[in-house]
């Protein structure tokens, strides 16, 4: 880590921690803008192939240093990449062909709830207040998926794109729970090996996509989107979050991940010009309430 980056993380830790969820929130917007010019599986493959190349070039000395551990646990590292990197984005980008980036952004608020469910299955303690926070968040997501109309809930009429978004959240929750089994290596080494797994997993559906007649429309917007998803959410956001964790600790830094759906929704309105309906406002307030309750609960000492 350079002296300038060290100074930045300790002088402005909240700045780097805000940059991370903004870039992650922008991922849904990028996926929406890619509709019609980059097939979703191909976007996923290009994203992680680019990450492999870039991280491999910039962190080759660190990767060589960690290679004995990476080689010994290669399958675990790559499976985490298949789940959290390829699986999440394959579902997410596919969902964005069927629904709005605003909806997908708010649906991502269910990730903490799925992690809580997984924690119970792994026999870990969960505080009642955390359940209350998760209940608010999931209620907000139900408002989004049903478009604020309870008749859609009763008749089980949901937008398929939103359901793909929920699938992405389930996959990412499994990835998050799996991180506890990750051997300790430098963040760049982990990102490299996980990106290798993600690339291999995304290439197959991409080939099916292109073989079925989907094409990449190469123009300035296409290149800009590919560069963004490689640099922004894949590398810079990861780096900013790690800097923030090192500066103020994981517990306090973890709060900022919860703002990904909020920033994603805001960027959807500002960049994609998507219509912000009243039910989106209700859902946002419910999600934000759930985030606050969950974070307060997570900071209370265990009884």
User: Does residue 52 form part of some domain?
Assistant: yes
Which of the four pLDDT bands, split at 50, 70 and 90, describes residue 164? very high
User: Does residue 123 form part of some domain?
Assistant: no
The pLDDT score that the predictor gives to residue 71 is 94
The pLDDT score that the predictor gives to residue 113 is 72
User: Does residue 60 form part of some domain?
Assistant: yes
The pLDDT score that the predictor gives to residue 118 is 77
User: Does residue 211 form part of some domain?
Assistant: yes
Tell the burial category of 178 from Cβ atoms under 10 Å away from its Cβ (0-12, 13-18, 19+). Answer: middle
The full DSSP string for 251-278 is HHHGGGGGGHHHHHHHHHHHHS-----H
Distance of CA 251 to the CA centre of its chain: 18
User: Does residue 191 form part of some domain?
Assistant: yes
Rounded to whole angstroms, how far apart are CA atoms 131 and 145? Answer: 21
Contact 172, 261 (CB under 8 A): no
* Least confident segment among 12-16, 28-32, 127-131, 153-157: 153-157
Q: Mean per-residue pLDDT for 51-55?
A: 95
User: Does residue 151 form part of some domain?
Assistant: no
User: Into how many domains does the chain fold?
Assistant: 1
The pTM score is 0.81
User: Does residue 7 form part of some domain?
Assistant: no
Domain, as residue range, for 81: 40-98+163-168+184-215
* Least confident segment among 85-89, 91-95, 98-102: 98-102
Nearest to 110 by CA among 171, 28, 200, 185: 171
User: Does residue 269 form part of some domain?
Assistant: no
The pLDDT score that the predictor gives to residue 136 is 74
């Amino acid at each position: 880590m350079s002296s300038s980056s060290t100074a930045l993380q300790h002088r402005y830790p909240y700045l780097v921690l805000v940059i991370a969820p903004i870039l992650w929130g922008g991922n849904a917007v990028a996926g929406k803008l890619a509709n019609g010019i980059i097939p979703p599986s191909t976007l996923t493959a290009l994203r992680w192939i680019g990450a492999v190349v870039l991280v491999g070039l910039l962190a080759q000395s660190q990767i060589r240093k960690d290679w004995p551990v990476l080689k010994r646990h290669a399958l675990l590292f790559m499976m985490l990449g298949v789940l959290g990197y390829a699986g999440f984005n394959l579902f997410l980008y596919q969902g964005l062909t069927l629904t709005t980036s605003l909806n997908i952004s708010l649906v991502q608020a269910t990730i903490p709830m799925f992690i809580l469910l997984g924690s119970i299955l792994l026999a870990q303690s969960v505080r009642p207040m955390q359940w209350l926070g998760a209940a608010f968040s999931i209620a907000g997501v139900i408002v989004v998926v049903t478009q604020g109309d309870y008749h859609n809930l009763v008749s089980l009429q949901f937008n398929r794109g939103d359901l793909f978004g929920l699938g992405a959240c389930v996959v990412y929750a499994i990835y998050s729970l799996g991180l506890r089994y990750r051997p300790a290596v430098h963040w760049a080494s982990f990102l490299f090996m996980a990106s290798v797994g993600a690339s291999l997993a995304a290439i197959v559906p991409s080939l099916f996509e292109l073989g079925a007649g989907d094409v990449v429309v190469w123009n300035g917007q296409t290149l800009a989107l590919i560069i963004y998803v490689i640099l922004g959410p894949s590398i810079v956001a990861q780096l900013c979050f790690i800097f923030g964790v090192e500066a103020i600790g994981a517990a306090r830094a973890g709060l900022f991940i919860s703002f990904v759906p909020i920033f994603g929704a805001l960027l959807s309105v500002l960049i994609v010009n998507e219509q912000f309906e009243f039910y989106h406002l209700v859902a946002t307030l419910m999600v934000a309430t759930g985030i606050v309750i969950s974070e307060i609960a997570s900071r209370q000492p265990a009884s």
